[in-house]
Chain A
Amino acid sequence: EAAVTQSPRNKVTVTGGNVTLSCRQTNSHNYMYWYRQDTGHGLRLIHYSYGAGNLQIGDVPDGYKATRTTQEDFFLLLELASPSQTSLYFCASSDWDWGSNTLYFGAGTRLSVL
């Protein structure tokens, strides 16, 4: 089964703080994604990547940077955190193919920006 590990599981920071969320997948998947989950909005795509060094903009990218350093590792960076970024963040990976894209999710990181 696909394994996606996120760290930390919980994070509290202050407005203007600098936060890095980490994600590692061990299944040699090409695609990795960062989503945020908020009540009433479901999951919204922040950034995604199809390989080391690649970055694609998602639907809600403002205030976020991301970097894919290796095939396994995908990071989400909040350089000036704001309270509106308080959310539950999920990383996912997939091995995309035509007509098939099953995402494997990590357990999530709960971020609070005070």
Chain B
Amino acid sequence: TQTVSQSDAHVTVFEGDSVELRCNYSYGGSIYLSWYIQHHGRGLQFLLKYYSGNPVVQGVNGFEAEFSKSDSSFHLRKASVHWSDSAVYFCAASTNMGYKLTFGTGTSLLVDP
């Protein structure tokens, strides 16, 4: 069974802090990983993805994520958060076929101004 685990349901930080949102997966074989952001009352929007190559990938608005095969992880990071980064963040994974994404349960990030 393929699974995506986001262990932190809620994370609260202050504006200007760094943040890391964790994602672990359980898949066999090649894997396609991505992160999405959902602002309140909106649909999900793509942030970044990894399939192969450099394990550190850059996304929009200063977000980056690092793939680790040994840890089965794809954690999302930002060096300095802004209040507008408050949202729910979803990690998603699939096999290299890619067309069927499995999402984690999401992490709600609250940035105190």
Contact = CB atoms under 8 A, between A and B. Distances in A.
Interface stretch (B63-71, B78-86, B101-109): B101-109
Given A42-B105, A43-B90, A101 B98 contact: yes
Contacts, number: 65
Contact of B105 (A31, A41, A102): A41
B45 interface: yes
By size class, the interface of chain B is 20 to 34
A108 B43 CA distance: 6
Interface of A: 4, 31, 35, 40-45, 48, 50, 58-59, 90, 92, 94, 96-108
B99 A40 contact: no
B98 A43 contact: no
Contacts of B102: 45, 59
Interface of B: 6, 32, 34, 36, 42-46, 49, 51-52, 90, 94, 96, 98-106
B98 A42 contact: no
A97 B6 CA distance: 26
Contacts of A96: 98-99
Nearest to B6: A42
A105 B45 contact: yes
Contact of A100 (B43, B90, B98, B106): B98
Nearest to A42: B105
Contacts of B105: 40-42
Given A90-B44, A105-B43, A106-B43, A99 B103 contact: no
A97 to B, nearest CB: 8
Contacts of A41: 105
A43 B91 CA distance: 10
B43 A101 contact: no
A65 B45 CA distance: 26
A100 B51 CA distance: 7
A31 B46 contact: no
Contacts of A108: 42-43
Contacts of A31: 99
3 closest pairs, A vs B, by CB? A105-B43, A99-B51, A42-B105
